[in-house]
Structure 1
Amino acid sequence: MNMANKVALITGASSGIGEATAQRLAKAGYKVYGTSRRGDQAGRRSFEMLPLDVTKNESVEAAVQKVMQLEGRIDLLVNNAGFGVAAAGAEESSIEQAQSIFDTNFFGLVRMTRAVVPHMRSQKGGRIINIGSVLGFLPMPYMALYSATKHAVAGYSESLDHELRKQGIRVSVVEPAYINTPFDANLIQPDAPLDVYREIREGVAKRVKEALVGADGPDVVAEIVLKAATVAHPKIHYTPGLASRMRLLRRFAPARVLDAGVRKDLRLEA
């Protein structure tokens, strides 16, 4: 696919996977607009930044309209904005906190899709790539809310691809495992902590930090996004690196073996 004159819009592009993806797409020839809640920041970038809060309808509409005014089209939407709650028991987050993570990780993606699809339909083509997670098909204990949002992203992406492909629009979800990014620095703490989970919470958090240190960098995901954006016949699911092996285990390993492996990796008692 010729990337010349192609326009990409990427949410959560100020750091990590979003920034790496924006840089990779710009290098490949896309005109890239990254977004973050703070908008443009100091430093030299190979792409432009726009202010955008995916939890606000008016902010989403304003950012999309800005790109349309400047470029007249959007060929690729990468929904990357999201956050997680630090390792904690599911009951340690209030309903309000649970709603907050869904509002960004899932409903933010829905808002962006609803704003962009009409433009893609009018131009008779486009790609939407949603950044999911291995936790969208292999839930992790003490990350229940984040896992739930990523399950929602996976289901939404599959359904949406079926609905839009006859209009020339394809949807894919990229589901990485551990990626060494500043994501863990932006985790919020549970707002209803319970002492019964304190030791387990600290142990799981320590194990996750250890895994992140030795994990692939965000460029691995950026390459997969570029592939999904440019191949003639994209897949719905992409699982880069370690995630591909974890998907195979999820599909073929006996449930008790997989269950034991998850607990062993997190150093939890059987």
Structure 2
Amino acid sequence: MNMKKQGQKIALVTGASSGIGQAAAERLAGAGYTVYGTSRRGSAAGARSFQMLALDVTQDASVAEAVAQLMQREGRVDLLVNNAGFGVAPAGAEESSIAQAQAIFDTNFFGIVRMTRAVLPHMREQRAGRIINIGSVLGLLPMPYGALYAATKHAVEGYSESLDHELRTRGIRVSVIEPAYTNTPFDANFLQPDAQLDAYREARAAVSRRVKEVMATADQPGVVAETVLKAASAAHPRLRYTAGGLAARLSWLRRFAPAGVMDAGIRRDLRLDAAQAVQS
């Protein structure tokens, strides 16, 4: 182990080549963590405040190799931030094949499972560690024309809460971060639905327009990064942290607003009834 780093906490952040992952890795490094980010391509050009490892969260061997490299270099892992993920462009649930549904779960959910299984033996041996999963308010709310992505984030919520109960007596805590819309290159990597149907054309277009409108004024990834640091450094971490004002309001509404009011608000915000009326 590098003696110069002795006493520093070691963090591993997946999907750190851009967006929320990069912002979180930089914020943690600025707070004194020794940070390893990951991407499928590994090291990239440009100065960074953290090191990069090659890692594909959909491949067991790649996950094992990256964690083994980290342990060989540092001898411990104190924090895992599970951020790697992607979405499907706005589309009806019927417009994605089973193979496409499996692909998004393989990254957004099973990627978290693989990473967690890889670090837990080391954290259990240390009797200390934090796991922070980047979820979404869509783990609490529906997303019409984004059903598969919302389903993965609902799965992350259930997994995170259950895992935290299992691990807290072993000195390990699990938290999930719940941002709303965040201004990142995330939408540039949207998977296009592979079975587009004319029946959903108008509604699909209306939701796409609305998402673009909201993204233009969305929070920057630094807002989420600050929340990651807050969860990582809290003496008594919470299970859930909203990130940003919109996420906090939506979480509050989900908890306290009547179901009919929430339902109508979602449809009104996404212009669903108007779009579906035009289509019919």
Contact 1:4-1:30 at 8 Å conserved across structures: no
What RMSD in Å do the two structures reach over aligned CA positions?
1.0
Counterpart selection for 2:132 from 110, 129, 134: 129
The alignment status of 1:88 with 2:91, answered yes or no, reads yes
The alignment status of 1:261 with 2:236, answered yes or no, reads no
The alignment status of 1:32 with 2:35, answered yes or no, reads yes
Q: How many Å separate the matches in 2 of 1:263 and 1:238?
A: 26
Structural mapping, 1:1-270, within 5 Å = 4-241=7-244, 242-269=246-273
Show structure 2 runs of 5+ residues with no match: 1-5, 275-280
Q: Per the alignment, in what secondary structure is the counterpart of residue 179 of structure 2?
A: coil
Q: 1:239 to 1:136 in 2, by over 3 A?
A: same
Deviation of residue 240 (structure 1)?
A: 1.5
Q: How many Å separate the matches in 1 of 2:141 and 2:166?
A: 26
Q: How many Å separate the matches in 2 of 1:204 and 1:121?
A: 44
Which range is displaced more, 53-62 or 245-254? 245-254
Show structure 1 runs of 5+ residues with no match: none
Identity of aligned residues (%): 73
Q: How many Å separate the matches in 2 of 1:136 and 1:235?
A: 16
Q: Per the alignment, in what secondary structure is the counterpart of residue 80 of structure 2?
A: strand
Deviation of residue 268 (structure 1)?
A: 1.5
Deviation of residue 50 (structure 1)?
A: 0.5
Q: How many Å separate the matches in 2 of 1:122 and 1:269?
A: 54
Q: Deviating runs (4+, > 4 A) in structure 1?
A: none
Deviation of residue 205 (structure 1)?
A: 0.7
Deviation of residue 203 (structure 1)?
A: 1.2
**Residue deviations 1:64-122 (CA, integer Å, cap 9, x gap):** 00000000000000000000100000010000000000000000000000000000011
* Letter matched to residue 151 of structure 1: H
Q: Per the alignment, in what secondary structure is the counterpart of residue 247 of structure 2?
A: helix
Corresponding position of 2:277 = none
Provide the TM-score with structure 2 as the length reference. Answer: 0.94
Q: Per the alignment, in what secondary structure is the counterpart of residue 248 of structure 1?
A: helix
- Aligned pairs, number: 268
**Residue deviations 1:236-265 (CA, integer Å, cap 9, x gap):** 000122111101101111111111111111
Q: Per the alignment, in what secondary structure is the counterpart of residue 26 of structure 1?
A: helix
Deviation of residue 4 (structure 1)?
A: 4.8
